[in-house]
Amino acid sequence: MIKIFMHYLGLIQRKRMKKAAFLSSLVAILTIILTLNCGNELECVDIDGDGYGKNCPLGPDCNITSPAHWSDCGICEDGDGDDFGNNCNLGPDCNDSDDSINPKANEITCDGVNNDCNTTTLDAPDGDNDTWNVCEDCDDSDNSIYPGATEVCRDGIDQNCDEGLICDGGTEDSDGDEYASIASGGTDCDDSNASVNPSAAEIPFNEKDDNCDGDYSPDVIRVGHALGATYAVFADGDYLYANSGRTLKIYNKSLNPGNPKYIAKIDLSDFICEIYVKDGYAYVADEKSGLAIIDVSTPANPGTPVYRDTSRVSNGVYVTGGYAYVSDGCSGLAIIDVSNPANPGTPVYRDTSGCSSGVYVTGGNAYVTNWNSGLDIIDVSDPANPGTPVYRDTSGLSHGVYVAGSYAYVADWESGLAIIDVSDPANPGTPVYRDTSGAGFAVYVTGGYAYVADGSGLAIIDVSDPANPGTPVYRGTSGVSFGVYVTGVTNVYAYVADGPGGLAIIDVSDPANPGVPVYRDTSGESNGVYVTGGYAYVANGNSGLAIIDVSNPANPGTPVYQDTSGQSSGVYVTGGYAYVADEESGLAIVDVSDPTNPGTPVYRNTLDSCKGVYVKGNYAYVADWESDLAIIDVSNPTNPGTPVYRDTSGVSNGVHVTGSYAYVADWYNGLEIFRIW
């Protein structure tokens, strides 16, 4: 057909045929072509010219590159209709029963099937080369994320692919803070409170272990000169009981006897002179309030005190056989039936030769120390009808007593330690003395040693031969040692009630070489100026706050005043705010972002008179006179939080904070140092 068309086109060019005739002939040719193709719409594709190919009358060609091999073709066997199979033009099929599987299909990962019939294409590739394939790895683009990886705390990423964010190896996270409970193998010490976990910040003085480091809110380190609050200490099993003035504090010493963990406190009516714990109850000699009994069967949650008044001043207590024996000052010995601790009986009194100061009961006898008449021995085999005292005078002012074996060991004030043979309580022997460098306040005897709290610290005396006590070995303490309790077998510790020094803990495993004390807290008008950014901010008494431009110190500017409602005595400036110690008006906060136009003060009242202030982080630390140290959240200076207080031993007049410590100037007692985080 092409040759015919080209023939007619040549005639036109050579002017042997007119155009009209050409067009007529062209129509005829096209008609012939259409006629020949009618009914055969698919064109035969014969690449190698052997008459065989796709849509060709002779059939398909199995080898389109060689005319000699057309006869090799068989019938296309395509069982799944995907155009792939044996003898098929598109090639073989690796699974001829599934039309989704063939060489042109896309590989689907993690289905366990070779979808594209290519063995080099992986069904489960490892995209990040962390040895965990995409089917196992929860993020195959990051090689730090895979099953078994270490969970990073509090970043919101599931590093170990366990569909959770717990980061400390535990299994239960009830409060959703990404730390599991200790009970489930984690590190969260309070899994009911999301604000308590190992990465939380320790909040000053809230008496919680916010960061689960085993140490509750920081306590006071005493540096002072007056007699302080810690007077009594008692150890019972895993727990330690010590006083802080009128407050009974409870510590858990099971994990680290050298650094017991504070767990609870309870305030009593008067000063705590002595503590005795027995059968889940703490019996407290509570000075003018008599005997206080507290249920401590759950030490972390002590019960409400029950009181039994005595006629004078309770200063010592010993409990045995359902009775509490109370040394009651000049009323002698008070004996109280405590068989029902919730309802103690009426005291029975036995007068003593002086004003009683301590008591110890053993073998049916009560051994009572008297300030100025030595030791009284009273038969209490019938507690309801105590016998007449037998006296043994000592050379000093006897203050405390401990009985071990056949000997009574008396803390005898300026005479040190007096040892009396009481093998015959009706006829006590002549005292043997061992002087100490201070004044004997209290004594505890164990393992052949007497441990004497002698005011200046701890004196340790070998009493393996009571008739010939050894030379004291001393370990000084920072306060005034009033009481002592010793516990432990291999690791032995003396817990010393150290007055202004708080609770001193001394390793006495080697009594001849006692360790250095470790302290644990038990309790705690002048104008000011602050200069920053070219301005001096002056706490100006009745005039409030004065702000002076001192960019040229040789020519300071005229003061700008912002009156306050009280009498300003101290000031601290940070973050565009001046924090003014405004005495009876508490803490005044003034916006000084424009020092030439200070804002109206915002006040946060305190319990007493605000004398000084220091701001660090989100907290203002206020020296609040008799209310001691007040801590106020000022993260929002326009709405300061409610003050939290921490006692000092006197009255606080100034404060400075640096590092982890607040240093408080105590009007009567010198310097007190608080660890605040």
Q: Tens of pLDDT along 350-389?
A: 888 878 888 999 889 999 988 767 788 899 888 888 877 7
Give 556 or 359, the one with higher predicted confidence: 359
Q: Over pLDDT 70: what percentage of the chain?
A: 78
Structure-model confidence comparison of residues 661 and 24, the more confident one: 661
Query: Are the C-beta atoms of 347 and 332 separated by less than 8 Å?
Result: no
Q: What is the pLDDT of residue 468?
A: 93
- Residue pLDDT, tens place only, 145-201: 898 887 776 677 878 787 666 766 677 888 878 888 888 888 888 888 888 888 887
Radius of gyration of the chain (CA): 47
Residue 501 near residue 542 (C-beta atoms within 8 A): no
Q: Which range is most confident: 406-415, 502-511, 613-622? A: 613-622
Count of residues making up the chain:
677
Query: What's the CATH fold of domain 234-520?
Result: Methylamine Dehydrogenase; Chain H (2.130.10)
* 33 secondary structure, DSSP code: H
**Model confidence at 620, in pLDDT bands (50, 70, 90)?**
very high
CB 409 within 8 A of CB 419: yes
> Distance (Å, rounded) from C-alpha 413 to C-alpha 439?
4
Query: What pLDDT score was predicted for residue 425?
Result: 74
> Average pLDDT in the 496-521 region?
78
pLDDT recorded at residue 420: 85
Q: Return the bridge partners of 483, or none.
A: 497
CA-to-CA distance for 486 and 480, rounded, in angstroms? 18
In terms of pLDDT, which residue wins out, 295 or 267?
295
pLDDT for 61 equals 66
Instruction: Say which residue the tokens 């007449």 belong to.
Output: 388
Q: What is the mean pLDDT of residues 307-333?
A: 91
223 pLDDT above the threshold of 50: no
541 secondary structure, DSSP code: B
Rounded mean pLDDT of 289-314? 92
At residue 22, the pLDDT reads 54
Confidence band of 470 (pLDDT split at 50, 70, 90): very high
User: Residue 141 pLDDT more than 60?
Assistant: yes
Asked whether the predicted pLDDT for residue 637 surpasses 90, the reply is yes
Q: Are 318 and 357 in contact (CB under 8 A)?
A: no
- Residue 80, beta-bridge partner list: none
* pLDDT for residue 525: 37
Buried b (16+ CB within 10 A) or exposed e, 607-629: ebbbbbbbbbeebbbbbbbebbb
pLDDT band at 523 (very low <50, low <70, confident <90, very high): very low
pLDDT at 96: 86
Average pLDDT, the chain: 79
Q: In Å, how far are 286, 368, 410 from 376, measured between CA atoms?
A: 22, 5, 11
Q: 420 φ, ψ to 5°?
A: -125, 130
Q: Is residue 669 pLDDT above 60, yes or no?
A: no
- Of these ranges, 28-42, 373-387, 492-506, the one predicted with the greatest mean pLDDT is 373-387
Burial class from Cβ neighbours inside 10 Å (0-12, 13-18, 19+) for residue 39 reads exposed
Mean pLDDT, rounded, for 228-246: 79
pLDDT-derived band at 641, boundaries 50, 70, 90:
very high
The answer, yes or no, to whether residue 522 has pLDDT greater than 50, is no
Q: Domain 528-675, what fold? A: Methylamine Dehydrogenase; Chain H (2.130.10)
Whole-angstrom CA distances from 410 to 366, 401, 634, 675 are: 13, 4, 54, 37
One-letter amino acid of 440: G
Cα gap 333→355, rounded to integer Å: 9
Pairing type for strands 619-623 and 612-616 reads antiparallel
pLDDT band at 35; cut points 50, 70, 90 = very low
User: In terms of C-beta density within 10 A (0-12 exposed, 13-18 middle, 19 or more buried), how is residue 375 classed?
Assistant: buried
The pLDDT, as a whole number, for residue 221 is 35
pLDDT digits (tens, 9 = 90+) for 392-439: 666 767 666 677 888 878 887 778 888 988 788 778 788 888 888 888
CA–CA separation, 644 vs 631, rounded Å? Answer: 5
Would you give the DSSP letter of residue 309?
A: -
Most confident stretch, 151-165, 230-244, 540-554: 230-244
- What's the half-sphere exposure (Cβ side, CA atoms, 13 Å) at 548? 18
Per-residue pLDDT, 270: 84
What average pLDDT does this structure show over 211-218?
62
> Which of the four pLDDT bands, split at 50, 70 and 90, describes residue 224?
very low
